[in-house]
């Protein structure tokens, strides 16, 4: 992606509440909105699809009244179809489902569309970009995992950077309105790399929530590095 394209493109931030202080969850979600976040990323894990358990629809329902941010629900679970209605009723605004382990990805995507919600497909680090070929025209977003899903605080896997570029090229050819999102290890060092490779949206966690000066300062610091990537 050339410098002019970077300069003209606004990169969105989607903080993941998995890294929030759950004793202050509502407060921190409100801070994200005030600090300029574009959406809130909700990582749902069932302990089967990934080796961790996070939370369910009750958390989405609890934060829905305290923010106007869109709630992006990332379903890292074995049977996403079974839970879709629950998360819609709780206030989920869009849904991300994995290519891996889904018995019928097209059926899942169609079901989310029937619920009148935007849908994205997620691919893990070891999954090749070419699996997206048959489904790319059906989705609003592609999420490339830059770490192995399950836990926050990991470092970006360098092997994923060429794949980000490849997915960007596929999107431009097949579905230019589709967003490209990255998730995992995004910080002031890795964010510019992802942006230059073609990302439209960055999921961010500990780099914001663990910032010494608070959520707003973490957001501002990250945004500065992204803006610099577009002018360098």
Q: Which residues are catalytic?
A: 43, 183
- The one-character DSSP state at 182 is E
Residue 193 is encoded by which pair of tokens?
């790399």
Residue found under tokens 């829905």 = 64
Q: Phi and psi dihedrals of 49, rounded to 5?
A: -65, -40
For residues 213 and 218, what is the distance between their CA atoms, to the nearest angstrom? 7
**Cβ(146)–Cβ(194) under 8 Å?**
yes
Q: What angle do CA 156, 75, 42 make, to 5 degrees?
A: 70
Residue 209 is encoded by which pair of tokens?
């929530």
Residue 123 is encoded by which pair of tokens?
């691919």
Residue 222 is encoded by which pair of tokens?
């990250």
Write down the H helix ranges in the chain.
Answer: 3-8, 25-35, 57-63, 80-90, 105-114, 160-174, 190-197, 206-209, 215-229
For residues 7 and 181, what is the distance between their CA atoms, to the nearest angstrom? 18
């Amino acid at each position: 992606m050339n410098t002019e394209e970077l300069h003209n493109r606004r990169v969105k931030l989607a903080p993941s509440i998995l890294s929030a202080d759950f004793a202050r969850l509502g407060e921190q979600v409100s801070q994200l909105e005030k600090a300029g976040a574009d959406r809130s990323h909700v990582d749902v894990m069932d302990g089967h699809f990934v080796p961790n358990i996070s939370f369910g629809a009750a958390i989405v329902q609890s934060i829905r009244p305290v923010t106007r941010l869109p709630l992006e629900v990332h379903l890292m679970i074995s049977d996403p179809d079974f839970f879709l209605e629950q998360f819609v009723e709780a206030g989920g605004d869009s849904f991300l489902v994995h290519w891996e382990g889904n018995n019928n990805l097209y059926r899942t995507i169609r079901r989310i569309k029937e619920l009148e919600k935007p849908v994205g497909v997620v691919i893990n680090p070891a999954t090749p970009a070419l699996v997206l070929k048959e489904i790319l025209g059906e989705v609003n977003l592609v999420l490339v995992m830059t770490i192995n899903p399950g836990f926050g605080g990991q470092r970006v896997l360098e092997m994923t950077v060429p794949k980000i570029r490849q997915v960007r090229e596929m999107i431009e050819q097949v579905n230019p309105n589709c967003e490209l999102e990255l998730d995992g290890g995004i910080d002031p060092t890795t964010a510019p790399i992802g942006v230059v490779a073609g990302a439209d949206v960055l999921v961010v966690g500990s780099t914001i929530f663990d910032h010494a000066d608070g959520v707003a300062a973490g957001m501002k610091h990250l945004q500065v590095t992204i803006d610099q990537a577009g002018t360098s």
